[in-house]
Amino acid sequence: MALTDQQYHDIMRQYEQIRYQNAKESERRREEVYRKIPGYEELDRSIGGAALKTLHNLLEGDTAAIDSMHDEVREKLQRKKALLTEAGFPADYLEPIYQCAACKDTGYLNDTVYPRQKCSCMRQKEIALLYAQSQIQELIAKENFSTLSYAYYKGEDLDRFRGAVKISEDFVQNFEHDYHNLFFYGTVGTGKSFLSGCIANELLQQGHFVLYFSSIRLFEQLANYTFANNERQPLSDLQNDIHNCDLLIIDDLGTEMTNSFTSTQLFNCLNERHLRHKATIISTNLSLEELQDRYSDRVFSRITGNYILCKLSGQDIRMCKKLSN
């Protein structure tokens, strides 16, 4: 579905603000370095002088001027880095600052084959507006590998969780090279959504297009676009994003009202993504037996045949944390 003009302008204003803030920070850093490192400002300005000198020499017929300038500039750049590190600054302290290095905070990739191709960071901003997916930001803010703890697991439960963590880490590490899907299932509050959030956080940082839906929200969206009569956006646009995003996360499968529509839509989603080798993560409190009873045999077969099954068990960690506070 398409953005409205207002939504598009809102996103582009976000990028303008990001560039403005980064430019202010870059200028602050430069002034700091000029103030603390004697001679750095003069050295910095001399590089521009070298370019003007080279242009003059070229006009005078000196064909070796460019090679000479390259050597001079290379030497000056090395000296600048040395001065920075000697003064305790990182060598890249004055490099351009970008929130997204891929598009340089413009929203578009500099691709000569596909001009004006949207960056994954822009697609994520669009998703936040179009599908009300801001909850993924809340998810990854508190659920990432840096906050992972084994303190609430013991015995077999601990072994299962350690195994699921290893599978999750391998999934991230090999994401760009190997096609895999994950199915986290088991009792309530044992870390299924947490691990999905850990994976989403890592892949978002790598610039991948991650789409997150609670099961209820996913089928609500599909139903709205399928059955709404007034001002309905094309279903094909929603399906296109669901089928083609780098990673689709379906959280709490089984909490939606299950019927022939949801079962059919679920199978179509999983089947299309499998055919396109697009990774999917599903979490659910259902057992495998309950999964088979609730959905069609086609859905059960697709999941058990094409997903790495990770069973988690143990006490409800969310409840334990509440009781301990």
Share of the chain above pLDDT 90, in %: 49
The alpha-helical segments, DSSP class H, found in the chain are 5-36, 40-59, 65-86, 120-130, 135-142, 155-173, 192-205, 215-227, 235-244, 260-275, 288-294, 297-306, 317-324
Position 236 pLDDT exceeds 70: no
Cβ(232)–Cβ(279) below 8 Å? no
Helix (H, G, I), strand (E, B) or coil at 109: strand
**Intra-chain end-to-end CA distance of the chain, in Å:** 44
Burial status of residue 116 (CB atoms within 10 A of its CB: 0-12, 13-18, 19 or more): exposed
Cα separation, 12 vs 10, in Å, equals: 6
Give the three-state DSSP class for 174. Answer: coil
Give the torsion sign (CA, 41, 42, 44, 48).
positive
Winning range, highest mean pLDDT, from 37-46, 96-105, 123-132? 96-105
The model's pLDDT over 186-217, given as tens digits with 9 standing for 90+, comes to 999 899 999 999 999 898 888 788 888 999 98
> What pairs with residue 212 in β-bridges?
249
- The Cα–Cα gap between 257 and 295 comes to 11
Find tokens 């960071």 and name the residue.
121
Q: Write the pLDDT tens digit of every residue in 270-316.
A: 999 999 999 999 999 999 999 999 998 999 999 999 999 999 998 88
CA 191 from centre of chain: 20
Does residue 55 have a pLDDT over 70? no
Q: How far apart are CA 294 and CA 303, in angstroms?
A: 13
**Band of the pLDDT at 74, cuts 50, 70, 90?**
confident
35-57 average pLDDT score: 75
Question: Distance between alpha carbon 92 and the CA centroid of its chain, in Å?
Answer: 24
DSSP label of 232: P
The total of other beta-carbon atoms located within 10 Å of residue 267's CB is 19
Beta carbons of 210 and 204 less than 8 angstroms apart: yes
pLDDT averaged over every residue in the chain: 85
Instruction: Say how far apart CA 22 and CA 16 lie, in whole Å.
Output: 10
Domains and CATH numbers, the chain: 5-86 (no CATH), 131-324 (3.40.50.300)
Query: Sign of torsion, CA 143 146 148 151?
Result: negative
Question: Cβ atoms within 10 A of the Cβ of 184, count?
Answer: 27
Q: Nearest 5°: phi and psi at 309?
A: -90, 125
- d(C-alpha 224, C-alpha 236), whole Å: 13
Q: What is the pLDDT of residue 215?
A: 93
Identify the bridge partners of residue 250 per DSSP, sorted by sequence position.
213, 282
Q: Quick one: pLDDT at residue 134? A: 47
User: CB-hemisphere CA count at 13 Å for 207?
Assistant: 13
Determine the pLDDT at residue 124.
81
